[in-house]
Structure 1
Amino acid sequence: MGAQAGGRGPRRANGAREAEILDLLHRADGALTPGEVAEALGGELTYSSVVTILTRMHTKGLLTRGPRGRAYAYTPVADDPGLAARRMRSVLDARSDRHDVLARFADGLSEADAELLRRLLGPEQ
């Protein structure tokens, strides 16, 4: 029941696959083609599935790509902290109640994180 059609590996949520591929691309020495990603995943996904996932991630702005031979080679746009920050901005930008979202976020910070944020934002005025 947990296997994909064609005898491939167990099904995973799209977000989990994207995270797995993103991690793989971060650890790579350079850009990877869909074939290289599929090979690095040990054949868990078909080539066309990898192309679909990489294309979706490129459309979301998570990856850049450039031509290599007859395929594209993909690299992450940012490192892991940069991607987390981008997601946070995306959530904030999608809300009309920015003040309330930021206030709730700040209220939920630990004292150490609140102090770090104060230092990052600059000296008190």
Structure 2
Amino acid sequence: MNAITPHAGGDLSQGEPARLGTLEAQVMDLLWESEGATVRELIDRLPTDPAYTTIATVLGNLRKKGLVSTRKAGHTTLYGASVSREAHAANLMEHALDASGNREASILHFVDGMPEDDLELLRRHLLGGDPPQ
């Protein structure tokens, strides 16, 4: 079977990260939890009952943002996440730091509010321990 291939239009390493609307976030959550899905499968898993064309449009928008990739399986198009949930979250945090005007103060303020378990994870990682997952 062909791999899901990213759309050439999106690049999360540059520019502003993709902001997700409510329905886009719900669709991405489903894609992050699966190996790929059709429009119909996504509709069946969503808490509301959106129109087929609505989800097809949302997927097209997410593809343009570089978050969704496609692959063909016969006459069916499967959609999958082209970036992990963790990579997307890291990109959002990086952008927030860039936009803060004071990276150092923002990082320190963020770290000051972290629970001890998260601080220990950071310590281990910075000392060459646990690699990111």
TM-score using structure 2 length? 0.61
Q: Higher relative CO (CA 8 A, sep ≥ 6), structure 1 or 2?
A: 2
Instruction: Give the 3-state SS of the residue equivalent to 2:78 in structure 1.
Output: strand
Instruction: Describe the shift of the 1:45–1:106 C-alpha distance in structure 2 as closer, same or farther (beyond 3 A).
Output: same
Equivalent position of 2:31 in the other structure: 25
Instruction: Give the 3-state SS of the residue equivalent to 1:48 in structure 2.
Output: helix
User: Residue deviations 1:73-109, cap 9 Å, x none?
Assistant: 3111244333322322232244442222212111211
Mapped pair 1:15 → 2:34 = no
Distance in 2, Cα, partners of 1:71 & 1:100: 49
Higher helix share: 1
Distance in 1, Cα, partners of 2:84 & 2:92: 12
Distance in 2, Cα, partners of 1:85 & 1:15: 18
Aligned residue pairs: how many? 109
Distance in 1, Cα, partners of 2:73 & 2:99: 35
CA RMSD of aligned residues (A): 2.9
Could you say which structure has the larger radius of gyration? 1
Instruction: Describe the shift of the 1:65–1:92 C-alpha distance in structure 2 as closer, same or farther (beyond 3 A).
Output: farther
Give 2:78's match in structure 1, choosing from 73, 80, 83.
Answer: 73
CA-CA distance at 1:40 after TM superposition: 3.9
Identity among equivalent positions (%) equals 32
User: Residue deviations 1:39-74, cap 9 Å, x none?
Assistant: 444871111110121122223332222345667431
Give 1:52's match in structure 2, choosing from 48, 54, 57.
Answer: 57
What amino acid sits opposite 1:112 in the alignment? D
Instruction: Please list every run of 5 or more consecutive structure 2 residues that lacks an aligned counterpart in the other structure.
Output: 1-19, 129-133
Give 2:95's match in structure 1, choosing from 85, 90, 107.
Answer: 90
CA-CA distance at 1:22 after TM superposition: 1.9
Distance in 2, Cα, partners of 1:17 & 1:23: 10
